[in-house]
Structure 1
Amino acid sequence: MTSSSIAEQVSTFNEGFTAQIGPELSAVFDAEQQALTAAGRPDDAVGVGDQLVDATLLTPEGAEVSLATVVGEGPAVLVFYRGAWCPYCNLTLKTYQEQLLPTLRDRGVGLVAISPQTPEGSELATSNGSLDFPVLSDPGNVLSRALGIVTEPTAEARAAHTQLGFDVADSNADSTGDIPFPTVLVVDGDGRVVFADVHVDYTTRTEVDEVVAALDLLP
């Protein structure tokens, strides 16, 4: 079982990734992260006290399901991630599976991961991390857009992606490059947000202990 923090795992991954892709592509992604950080959190991004809207999502099998049905009557942790193509997302979801899910189950709190990718992508994310919690698709980023957390890679980053052999649009259900900022929400049984952590730099993520601490905010 992984015991190190997400930040520690990201640091180790980045060392190998930078060596693999070389300085030119690394500089492109560094510039993108710096630009995202400089722009900051969107003014209309979801925040504490907001009411979560319902949305129609897709299961990995392609069946429609409402967010309200998945969350049920209990509190829940919602994780918005970019897609199975994102190594930082895979690393984070696997860590949540191993380190966070047992605590949430003990406390009767659900865990749901949501991305704009196709149902096939959700299935891939599930298998990548051996995930044992719902992983759903938000086609067209309808839910993410309502929460004010939608962005897209820069043109330079997408060109770098192409050099690495993939394009975000090929993974998304609506064939666009739109993706959510990596975000973790903790919502109570009434769908009210008690914790919202939006990461504009996609190489950083909400640590497990931060989510666990946020559970104490639940009524």
Structure 2
Amino acid sequence: MSSTQSVTSIQSSVTEFNTGFNEAVGPALAEVFALEQQDLVTAGLPATVVSPGDTLPEATLLRADGTTVSLSDELAGSPAVLVFYRGAWCPYCNITLKHYNENLAPVLAGRGVRLIAISPQTPAGTEAAILKDDLSFSVFSDPGNALASTFGIVTAPSAGAQDAHGQLGFAVADSNADATAAIPFPTVLVIGADGVVTFADVHVDYTRRTEVPVILEAVEAL
């Protein structure tokens, strides 16, 4: 993991982003998002959230071109790292996917481990996420959070946050394939070749993400 330890962490990039973002949106909207994050942390994880030992269910996902793909066919018995993200509209997700593309995907490819990112957005949103940073790994849509729901990781922005999104010129429901505001908690799962979850890291605060060294340590334990 020495190749990743000198790399800027996701959290440091998020901290840098937040400074400019809060200045850009102003104190009122920044406070709305800060309160939302506090409420999410206070509420904590759902009781039914995914945990090691759970089995990966069958799922049908959408590619960026709108065609369907079976998750089991896509994995074809390979170990995998699944990344659930909120959507291409989420700057924290974009920071994370870019970081994984540069610092995680090449290492996993060398070890024969698949890296797959999944969100509830439309295929067009998936395409936008791929093109934004020329992502080298698979990115799929999970319409209606069907797969995310089986893992107990589905939530939604608070009413205040959704109003703030509107003031900023977008709505999460417009990005999602099912036209709702439901989104997954940012989550990383490590899946063994047998389809069993060996590692699960779910973040209720969407500004926090799983760092590359943590993922690689979990992969090494497979």
TM-score of the two chains, using structure 2 as the length reference? 0.97
Q: Are residue 74 (structure 1) and residue 60 (structure 2) matched?
A: no
State the 1:38 CA deviation: 0.4
**Other structure's SS at 2:61 match:** strand
Moved over 3 A (4+): none
Between the aligned partners of 2:105 and 2:31, the Cα distance in structure 1 is: 35
State the 1:24 CA deviation: 0.1
Q: Which amino acid aligns with 1:145?
A: S
Q: Are residue 101 (structure 1) and residue 105 (structure 2) matched?
A: yes
| 1:86 alignment counterpart | 90
Between the aligned partners of 2:218 and 2:195, the Cα distance in structure 1 is: 15
State the 1:69 CA deviation: 1.3
State the 1:216 CA deviation: 1.9
**% identical aligned pairs:** 58
Q: Are residue 142 (structure 1) and residue 142 (structure 2) matched?
A: no
Q: Which residue of the other structure, out of 40, 45, 62, is the alignment partner of 1:41?
A: 45
Between the aligned partners of 2:134 and 2:11, the Cα distance in structure 1 is: 21
| 1:113 alignment counterpart | 117
Measured against aligned partners, the alpha-carbon deviations of 1:28-59 in whole angstroms (never above 9, x if no partner) come to 00000000000111110100010010100000
Q: Are residue 209 (structure 1) and residue 213 (structure 2) matched?
A: yes
State the 1:13 CA deviation: 0.1
Between the aligned partners of 1:175 and 1:31, the Cα distance in structure 2 is: 25
State the 1:209 CA deviation: 0.5
Q: Which amino acid aligns with 2:200?
A: A
State the 1:122 CA deviation: 0.2
TM-score of the two chains, using structure 1 as the length reference? 0.98
Between the aligned partners of 1:217 and 1:183, the Cα distance in structure 2 is: 19
Q: Are residue 175 (structure 1) and residue 176 (structure 2) matched?
A: no
| 2:161 alignment counterpart | 157
Q: Which amino acid aligns with 1:73?
A: G
Between the aligned partners of 1:52 and 1:74, the Cα distance in structure 2 is: 12
State the 1:198 CA deviation: 0.2
Structure 2 spans left out of the alignment, 5+ residues: 1-5
Q: Which amino acid aligns with 1:32?
A: E
Q: Which residue of the other structure, out of 12, 15, 20, is the alignment partner of 1:11?
A: 15
Structure 1 spans left out of the alignment, 5+ residues: none
Aligned ranges 1:182-197 → 2 under 5 Å = 182-197=186-201
Between the aligned partners of 2:138 and 2:180, the Cα distance in structure 1 is: 24
**Other structure's SS at 1:46 match:** coil
Aligned length: 218
State the 1:3 CA deviation: 2.8
| 2:57 alignment counterpart | 53
